[in-house]
Every structure is written in structure tokens, then in C-alpha cells.
Amino acid sequence: MTKTHKGRRLCRLILIAAGLSACAETTIERPSETALQRPPETALQRPSETALQRPPETTLQRSQQTTADSGQPVAAQQTLDAIAAHLQVSYQVIDNRPGDHCDPARGTACFISEISLSSAIDLDAGGWAIYFSQISPLQRVVAGAFSVEHINGDLHKLKPAPALKKIAAGRPYKIRMISDNWHLSTSDLMPNYYVAAPGREARVIASTRTAIDADTGLETRPYAGVFNHKARHLLRPGGDTTRPATAAALFDSNRDTAFVADGLERAIVPTPASVRRPAGGGQLDLSAGLALRLSGLQRPAIEAALAALADLGIAETAGGIPVQIAIAAQPDRSAGAYRLQLNSGHIAIRAADPEGAAHALRSLASLLMPGSRRVPLLAIEDSPRYPFRGLHVDVARNFHSRQLLLRLLEQMAVFKLNRLHLHLGDDEGWRLQIDGLDELTRIGSRRCHDPGEDRCLLPQLGSGPDAGSAVNGFYTAEDYIEILRYAGARHIQVIPSFDMPGHSRAAVKAMEARYRNYLAQGDSAAAEQYLLTDPADTTRYQSIQFYRDNTINVCMDSAYAFVEKVIDEVARLHRRAGQPLRRYHIGADETAGAWAESPACKAFVAKGGGPGDIAALSGYFIERVAAMLAAKGIEAAGWSDGMGHTDPGRMPATVQSNAWGALFWQGHKSAHEQVNRGWQVIVSTPDVTYFDAPYEVDPYERGYYWSSRGTNTRKVFNFMPDNLPAHAELWRGRIGEALTLRDAVQRDDGGAVSHRPMAAGKRFAGLQGQLWSETVRADAQVEYMLFPRLVALAERAWHSADWELPYDYNGRDYSAGSGFFSADKRRRRDAAWARFASVLSAKVLPKLDMAGIRYRIPPPGGAVIAGRLHSNVIFPGLEVEYRIGGGPWTLWSAPVAIDNTAATIELRVRSADGKRRGRTLALN
């Protein structure tokens, strides 16, 4: 799905068909580096305009012509170069509060912002335009000598008024705008504004590039204004009571988490089902290494786990501690189960399968304290909570390297995750080489300034005008095969995903370019073979990310020919890798309904044999593609909203649905309904599993916040995935509102049952964390957003804690005061968190440092109490530094007397290895 902004707007789609003004709006809101192969810079030969029928002009093409035909000469290249070098751009959110200034036709929410332009030298105005990304579309300009126009998606164009002849040195020019929704974070403010003119080379404006902070290594946005006023900058409209994560607020939330040393040496992450220590304890010294004896097991199944042990200093040697590993399959033991016996002179492992043997060795590695080669004598019996323990990584919005994926796969294996849901195609990019469809990567993998989209897609998400940008790229067939083999060696199944029929703009535009090329050659059959759009379709629509042209036409046979071609080529790559394609993710979500005035769809519906009306076409597409997959022996997967539009009777026997319904929208109901269909439902609850959300309520934390204003590691640890509605007792909604989640049987006004709880004996099939990449442009940012909260998700996916509230199959309604989650359970949960947080700081984070993973270092909490500075951190054991009045940084170890209470007090945290620093927070 592309949950990219799953719901960045209050309106999920606007469909304006002929004779209609608008469709009804729903309430789903969503904000939505190695051997990487860059596509060649050469483009398809552009056919003459008379040689083919082109699709309707884009707004950007029309605006380019306007620039050239407005009576002003096109700016010289020197002018563009000077603007790029000297123009200072800043963007300031003025006020997020709605009022009479909002356009009522666009909804009730809007915000005021201001772009400021200045230069130290005179710059010519006219004959050029500035293009920039703004994730919420413009409503109107209210002040300033410039026009602003929404082009498509998030791309906007700013242009000087004809009367403006120059940007005078030393004079600020302010453009005040009103736009849809709100901007509550600096990561909403996309970088890489660029200046362009017809026939000239577009240039990024230097002042809008991001930078790297020397102390933290984190990205900064010098062009972004301040977010320092709670009401105007930090709160959503509608009575938001959210508390920003200041140093004082963090101090309060960390108060109950003290370092727990007891049992640290016995701790394994994720927590095993059973750990027993023999009377008298004792330790086993592994300094001599391990001497393996295998029974019923081939070495390749455990080589990755052995390599991880070797990286920690425990190598395989002839004279090492004897290790007997045997496969002993038993019908009552789940896949991945194992027994690990650490005795005084030897180690015994009995596993249900090769995956279980690898898990046992990973647990042995987890026992090791950093720098130590001793482990306690223990008897461990273990098996996973869920068979599906997944991570979704979006490389479509912004490309990420093959090397990053390999690092992530290794860490997934460390924490016993076993599914990589790899999101390879969306509106903003197509990331996998497909034999016979080179346009998908030659055009669809790049964003650049090309109004006709013959060489690349339009810039989006602050990508800028350059096709060689690091956010562009794709995996070659050989890259993908390497990823598959690397995953397979770690017992991880890769589930490829190309979102369709919505969220498909990259594919749509690539196939339109293919169409034009073959039509120019006089080969209409080849031109139409994989065409994804009806040229005669006059439907006007807007997707959740504000595209007007991102949806595959599901009434055309060529669309299904394209889908089948992609599936067959992906399956061929899996066979070459020795990793058969077992499951394929269709996407299937957030379809904007682009077919209302398509002649192809009207004819298709009228002919019969399919759905009786156009509104049912989304479900028809999913059913047809699912049947196509089933005929090839491949299981179908999709996001729950699209999958919910299907007729279960027309779907295959095995179906995966990722349940991404937000709890504040009663999302547990669709999850339960699809479990009751007999589907394999994977908990993907955005309130807690969307790792593109910020860690805390802080405008300087990266991430979209439609699903959660703050999802820190503790919140993920506290998740009870078997009992979704119970979280009404524990969490509040996005604006701090109390939740009531109803799971008892409900009836509509006519008496028919409208909701049932999960049927007795049914349960979820798995748990998955999601990283969407709209705001994530670099590999280091991926690691920041995933770690360490992915470790907490792995804990919940593998281990069912005794403090969790079991699901009530009779159905219950939960609220803040319903009281089912008892005080005793709260105490046990909080004690378990303190132990887990201590293990993270003492064992897990140091090993992540050793692996080169740039996890997020949390900001500290702080408070001055009775004239003394107190501090704490969410992971007790990490070191805190402080400084007063801009003085030297000093290690904080105990309360410090503060003599000058007026001086600024700043705090920051060190990484576990002491080599990096986190963000600084000012206490006062």
C-alpha cells in the first residue's frame, strides 16, 4: 500500500467526473550505496509530435510554455546559475490554526506559511521559475510579488510577477501562502528547491540543500524556519492536547525506568519462552571457540549465524567447546523452535528445523556481553509467537542501496525476524530491473526536471532536478538475486511489492513513454501491449498524495498483460536465486477511482462478465490478479483496505492481508473481520508499527505523524498485538483524545450485525513493522528510524509476555476507564520494560555500534529540582552530558548544583560506544 502518507489529508480522494462536482470524502488520512545501478542518462529518442498521439499535456508542460511565451525572454543560463548560488530561501510556518482564511471547498483545515527570498547581489527576475516540493497543496497566495501553482503530487512552481524586474540586493521578498492541512515538523519542509527555464539546465538553489551536523551526523535543514510556538506550530486543529517532548517531559516519562543489572548476563533478545538456570549457576568460557558436530543439518543453514558469532570473537576451531546440533522434527513444535543447553563442558542444540538451529546460535550470540567470551550455564527452550515476523522497507519513494538491505537482513536475523516485505514500486519510483521493460528503470527509477517525462519522472519529495541524485536508482537483476540469496541464507523470505492499481505513477509514465516510442516507429501493437492508461479517459481525480495520473486502468487487457509480465520476470529472478517466489504483495490500497469517465471501463462494465458497476472495479482487479498468482503457485498479499473490497468467495484459499487500520479509526474491526474470513492477517497497526513516524512529539524529529505523533521504543515494547482494542486503556489518539474501541457485537439500525469480534480459536498470523521513505533520503536515516524500535517489535513478534491482556473472544468495549488492564499487569509490564531497556543499553546497542548501525541516540530528560540538575534517559546506562551557558560539555553522573539558574542548560546523550552524540535539548 503505500502507506506513505496513509492519510496525509482528511480527504482520501477527490474524484470529479463529468457532470459531477466532487465525490464523497472518506476519513482515511495518511501522510501518506555499493553497487547501485544508475539508469543510463540517455533517453528514448523523442518522436515528433505528428508521429504519435500524446497523452494530455501536464500542468508542468503548460507552465513551461507559459514561461517561454509570456512576453519575457527566457532567462540565460548565467542567470539561473547566479540564482542557484546566491538566492537565500527560507520557509516559515506562520500558523497551523484554521479559520475563515481556509477555503471551505478544500476542507476545514489549512495553514499559513511564508517563503522568504533574498540575495546579497541583484538577480534578474523573469524568464525563470522555482520548483519546490510541499506535501500539502497550495490553496492560494495572499501576499507577495510571485505566483505559486500546484503542478502534480507535491511539486509546486513559484514564478515572479511580470512587473518584478529584479530581486534587489539586501531586500527580502516574502510570499505568504495558505495551503491545505498543516505542517508540524521540519521534515515536512522538503529540500532542493531548483530554478529552471525552457532550454536551460535546471539548478538546485544552494541555500535549500540539506547539511550534516558535525556533532551528531544528523541531517539539518538550514532553510527551515523555527517551530517554537506551541499553539501555532506544534498542535493540530481540533483541541490537540499533545504534550511536546521537551527535556522536562522526557524526564517525567523516564522516571520509572532505572537500570536493572540483575539477570543481565542471562538476557536474550528476543526473550525466549523458557530459560532455566541450574542450581549453583556457573559459566562456560567460549574463548577456545566452538567445535561443531552436525546431525541432519547442512552447514549453509547456519553459516550466517556462525559468522555473526565469529564477529563477536567466538570462532569455529578444532579444539573448541563441543557443540552438537541435531535436527529433531516434531509435529507439535513450530517452525523455528529450538532447545539450547549450555553445560559446563559442552553445548547441545536440538532444533525443529534448520531455521531453529540458526536461531539457537543467534541466542548464543545474544547472551554474550560486549567484549566477553563467557556465557552462563542455562537450559533454554524456545519457539516463536508468530510464524510471520516482518519488516517492510519502502525503497520506491526514495531509493536505498543494496548494501543497506544486506545490513538490515543481517540485523533481522539477529532478532529472529523472518519476512522482508520489499516495496519496490510506487508513484515516485520503480526500483527493479524487469527484462523486456527497460523503460521501468530507465525512466521510472529517476526523477528529474523533464516536463514531458520522456527521460524521467517529475521531481517529488524534494528530490531536485538531477537524474543522478542519490534518491534515484534501481536494483539490477544481479543485485536482486544477491539480496534474495543473502536473505535465504538467514532464513528470511523476501516478499516483493509493486503497488497497483493505485500508487502506480512510475509504471504508468514509463509505459506511456514506451507507447509513444513504439507508436512513432509505426508499431501500434507493441505500443499498446503494456499500456496502463486509457488515452480517452477524461476522469478528473486526485489521489491521496495529490496525483492526478497515478492509477492503472483495470479495464484494459494490456494492464493485466503488464502485471503478468512483471510477476513472471520477478519469479524468474527468484528461481535463479534458488529462492522460489512464494508470496507476492499486490499493494491494492488507496485506489483513487480514476475510471469514472473511461470509455474502456464503460464498455467493460456494459459487456458483462465482470463487476456490474465501475465502483466495484478495484475489488475485481485484486481478485483477478490474486487468481493469476494462484495459477502460478504464488500466494497473494495486499493491504487490508483494498483487500476488504474483494468477495472472499472469489479469492484464493491462502491470502495475506496487512491490517493497517488505525486504532483511532476503529481499525481493529477490519482486522478482526478479515481474520474471520480465514485470511492470514498481519498486524501492521500504524499507531505503533509505522517506523516512518517520529520517535517523539518533537518538530525536529524526522517523520510523518498522521498515524502517531510519537512512537518511541517503549511504546512498541508495550504493544499487545493479540488484543488491539485493549489499547484504548493505554493510549490516546493523535490529538491527545481519549479512545473508545468497541469490539462487542454491534448491530446497525436495521438490526443486522455490523461487527463481530474474532471468532474463537482465530488469531493473527504475524506482526510487521513498516518504514515508508518519503522523508527518509539516506541509508543512515533508515537505520535511525528503524533502530532501536525494530528490536522492540521483534520482541513482541517472538515473545508473548505474561503481562499482556489476553483477547476476549466474547467481545469487549475498551476505554480509558474500562479497567481490564489491571494495576498488577501495569507493574509487571513496567518492570519488564526496565529490564528490556537495560539490556538494550548494555548488550544490544553496543553490538549495533560494532555492526556499524547508526541507531537513534535518544535525547535525555532533565529537570532542575531544589537547585540541582537531574537527568535520565529512556535507556538507563547510556551516558548523559551537560553544559551550562555554552561552556564545555561535562559527563553527568549525579545531581549537579546550578548556581546560575538564568543560564541555558543543555543536555545530550552518548552512544553506547561513546563515539557519537545525540540531539541536544535545552532545559530552560
Mean pLDDT of all residues in 188-206: 98
Return d(Cα 481, Cα 402) in angstroms, integer: 11
Catalytic residue among 219, 355, 590, 795: 590
pLDDT in tens, 325-354: 999 977 678 999 999 999 999 999 999 999
Mean pLDDT of all residues in 588-604: 87
pLDDT in tens, 41-71: 333 233 333 333 444 444 444 444 444 445 6
Return d(Cα 70, Cα 343) in angstroms, integer: 84
Question: What pLDDT shows up at residue 459?
Answer: 98
**C-alpha cell at position 59:** 500542468
Q: Is the pLDDT of residue 17 over 50?
A: no
Q: Is the pLDDT of residue 398 over 60?
A: yes
Question: What pLDDT shows up at residue 639?
Answer: 97
- Determine the length of the chain: 924
Q: Is the pLDDT of residue 37 over 50?
A: no
- Tell which phi-psi region holds residue 553, choosing left (phi > 0), alpha (psi between -120 and 50) or beta: beta
Question: What pLDDT shows up at residue 900?
Answer: 84
Q: Is the pLDDT of residue 885 over 60?
A: yes
590 is catalytic: yes
Q: Is the pLDDT of residue 24 over 70?
A: no
Alpha-carbon separation of residue 385 from 35, 201, 874 (angstroms): 37, 56, 26
pLDDT in tens, 479-500: 999 999 999 999 999 999 999 9
AA letter at 644: G
Alpha-carbon separation of residue 616 from 371, 508, 555, 620, 645 (angstroms): 60, 21, 11, 6, 8
Return d(Cα 374, Cα 369) in angstroms, integer: 8
Is residue 501 reached through a cis peptide bond, with omega within 30 degrees of 0 on the bond before it? yes
With a pLDDT cut of 90, the percent of the chain lying above it is 88
Report whether 724 contacts 685 (CB < 8 A). Answer: yes
Q: At how many degrees (to 10) do helices 402-414 and 477-488 cross?
A: 10
pLDDT band at 72 (very low <50, low <70, confident <90, very high): confident
pLDDT in tens, 646-673: 999 999 999 999 999 999 999 999 999 9
Q: Is the pLDDT of residue 18 over 60?
A: no
List CB contacts of 306: < 8 A, sequence separation 6 or more. Answer: 290, 292, 316, 361
Which burial class, exposed, middle or buried, applies to 576 when counting CB atoms under 10 A from its CB (0-12, 13-18, 19+)?
middle
Compute the CA torsion angle 551, 557, 558, 564 (nearest 10 deg): 90
Q: Is the pLDDT of residue 129 over 70?
A: yes
Question: What pLDDT shows up at residue 592?
Answer: 67
Query: Which of 44, 76, 26 minimizes the C-alpha distance to 514?
Result: 44
Return d(Cα 426, Cα 441) in angstroms, integer: 12
Question: What pLDDT shows up at residue 70?
Answer: 54
Return d(Cα 804, Cα 806) in angstroms, integer: 6
Q: Which residue has the cell 534448520?
A: 354
Q: Is the pLDDT of residue 206 over 70?
A: yes
pLDDT in tens, 359-391: 999 999 999 999 999 999 999 999 999 999 999
Question: What pLDDT shows up at residue 610?
Answer: 86
Task: Specify the higher pLDDT residue, 40 or 797.
Answer: 797
Report whether 901 contacts 864 (CB < 8 A). Answer: yes
